[in-house]
């Protein structure tokens, strides 16, 4: 048997689905923070994939302080070593206590491992998780198999697809 191409075992996520799943993540995180009444002091999105879920989580939990950490760990669909391109505000972050760090997906766990080394007391949450990286995440919504490629709506365009069998 030949290796599958990424689209052959794909999990296609629509804008509606990412919105529902990010809201479910917010509900799971509600009142779980270390501050008074279980609040969180800030949300930090891991760019770029974490930006949409972080926006939704911050809205749902009424967290007004939002920042980003830019980590590059992929060149198109090929994994490379993770490196920080832009850090969040140092004063805000400290060791990460009270901060929610949000990403769309944990795959191998290398990105979150790097960010966790910088902010060990932060709470790491992703919408989707694969088994290899799951231990790097504190909270997630849906687990998919390691060999599943997730197609996010920001990476997709609508186009015609030929029918599976035959033509009209």
| Residues catalogued as catalytic | 103-104, 107
Residue 152: name the closest of 27, 45, 16 by CA: 16
What CA–CA distance (Å, rounded) separates 18 from 166? 33
Helical axes 51-60 vs 15-29, angle rounded to 10°: 50
What CA–CA distance (Å, rounded) separates 99 from 149? 29
SS3 (DSSP) at 49: coil
**CA dist list (Å): 49 to 21, 22, 72, 74, 88:** 14, 12, 11, 11, 16
Rg value, the chain, Cα: 17
Contact 129, 102 (CB under 8 A): no
């Amino acid at each position: 048997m030949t290796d599958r191409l990424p689209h052959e075992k794909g999990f296609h996520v629509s804008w509606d689905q990412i919105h529902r799943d990010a809201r479910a993540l917010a509900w799971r995180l509600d009142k779980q923070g270390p501050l008074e009444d279980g609040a969180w002091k800030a949300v930090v999105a891991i760019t770029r994939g974490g930006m949409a879920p972080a926006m939704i989580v911050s809205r749902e939990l009424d967290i007004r302080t939002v920042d980003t950490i830019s980590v590059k760990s992929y060149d198109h669909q090929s994994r490379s070593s993770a490196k920080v391109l832009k850090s969040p505000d140092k004063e805000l972050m400290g060791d990460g206590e009270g901060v929610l760090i949000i990403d769309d997906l944990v795959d191998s766990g290398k990105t979150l491992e790097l960010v966790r080394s910088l902010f060990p007391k932060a709470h790491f949450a992703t919408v989707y998780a694969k088994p290899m990286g799951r231990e790097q995440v504190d909270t997630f919504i849906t687990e998919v198999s390691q060999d599943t490629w997730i197609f996010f709506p920001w990476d997709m365009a609508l186009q015609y697809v030929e029918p599976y069998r035959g033509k009209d």
